[in-house]
Structure 1
């Protein structure tokens, strides 16, 4: 079962078994349901996902490119270790690309996109009433970023940012219990989403940069 394949604000679309397997396993790795360094049994995963081994093996090949798994000859495939030292490199790229995606989303969002962004913003504003746990909050974080990346309308930018956000989220999940206020970080997204909906490109760009900077500072504070 997928933890965050669709997620709040994201509409499920018909996809292949290989793509669904990729998303399911990817999100297990991101949320650390598959622990860093843990061996990956493709047969067991196939049973759990209700698919054959072929889609799972295809998914694992893609996940190796994403630096989420690593394969060793005669030893098998393992979830990669979460390397805290990657935070600086990942954040450096995100500080440049996240504001770009927010600006492009603000300038190019369709009416349907804006409806989805608006709905997600209002949903986030009600988070405290819902008493969402930290894991659920991280699912909202992933959903916001993935929606913005898609609305930005550049598949190459989207692919790059998803990979970076996945690595950042693994670091976040590793220290999640030490972070005092995850909800506050997630609630920052509402203003960003509203700026995109209002087509306020400069504001969206600035808010995206502030959000990424805040994320890095929060992680460093608990390390």
Structure 2
């Protein structure tokens, strides 16, 4: 799902609306791992027909946020915390590339969106669910500004999986000022067109958050 579509829900197709709303509930862990995704219940709660719900669930299954079992139905996929390290390995490289491309290709509108989202992130709630949602919007805006639909699609899938793990593991933790500061470094480098600094800042931002999550998990064991 492109972040451009996320930004203008009024223009979404019905299947895109269904996908986005179910995806966001799964990523925020409002729909718990293993929970059934009943088509009729989702249709009633979202006010959408069964066809867009079914198509959205098929897409979520392909993106590993849901799993379908013959004759049993579709369920929210389980969370494997070990996946976070493997996702970070991939994302560090691709997030750096996206930030560098965004620094080279972002339009004035892209830069304005990024700065607005950054302001929301800095002055918004430090509650984990609220912060992660805003942080994810910043990432999606960077992917869109990179102007590479293949990179954007891939990174959106990876960020969905990673943010769900972080929401699940860090739900009792407040967002740190250091994490917000490092996100500012990424956005500011993109806005001033500094591709090399943007790449390095994006890589460091992601590594730092991943290390924070792992440290929190080890401390609670």
- Per-residue CA deviations over 1:145-169 (Å, capped at 9, x if unaligned) read 0000011000110010011111110
**Contact 1:105 1:149 (C-alpha < 8 Å) held by counterparts:** yes
Question: Residue 124 of structure 1 aligns with which residue?
Answer: 121
- Per-residue CA deviations over 1:57-102 (Å, capped at 9, x if unaligned) read 0000000000000011111111000111111210110011000000
**Contact 1:178 1:222 (C-alpha < 8 Å) held by counterparts:** no
Q: CA deviation at 1:183?
A: 4.8
Question: Residue 143 of structure 1 aligns with which residue?
Answer: 137
Alignment of 1:141-220 (within 5 A): 141-179=135-173, 181-220=175-214
Structure 1 residues without counterparts, runs of 5 or longer: none
Q: Distance in 2 between matches of 1:16 and 1:197?
A: 31
Q: CA deviation at 1:185?
A: 1.9
Number of equivalences: 215
Question: Residue 57 of structure 1 aligns with which residue?
Answer: 54
Change (3 A) 1:137 1:180: closer
Q: CA deviation at 1:182?
A: 4.0
Change (3 A) 1:57 1:12: closer
1:88 to 85, 89, 98: 85
Give the secondary-structure state (helix, strand or coil) at the position aligned to 1:40.
coil
Q: TM-score normalised to the size of structure 2?
A: 0.91
Give the secondary-structure state (helix, strand or coil) at the position aligned to 2:11.
coil
Q: Distance in 2 between matches of 1:59 and 1:16?
A: 11
**Contact 1:122 1:190 (C-alpha < 8 Å) held by counterparts:** no
| Aligned-residue CA RMSD (Å) | 2.0
Give the secondary-structure state (helix, strand or coil) at the position aligned to 1:39.
coil
Q: Distance in 1 between matches of 2:28 and 2:204?
A: 24
Q: Distance in 2 between matches of 1:193 and 1:32?
A: 27
Q: TM-score normalised to the size of structure 1?
A: 0.90
2:215 to 200, 211, 221: 221
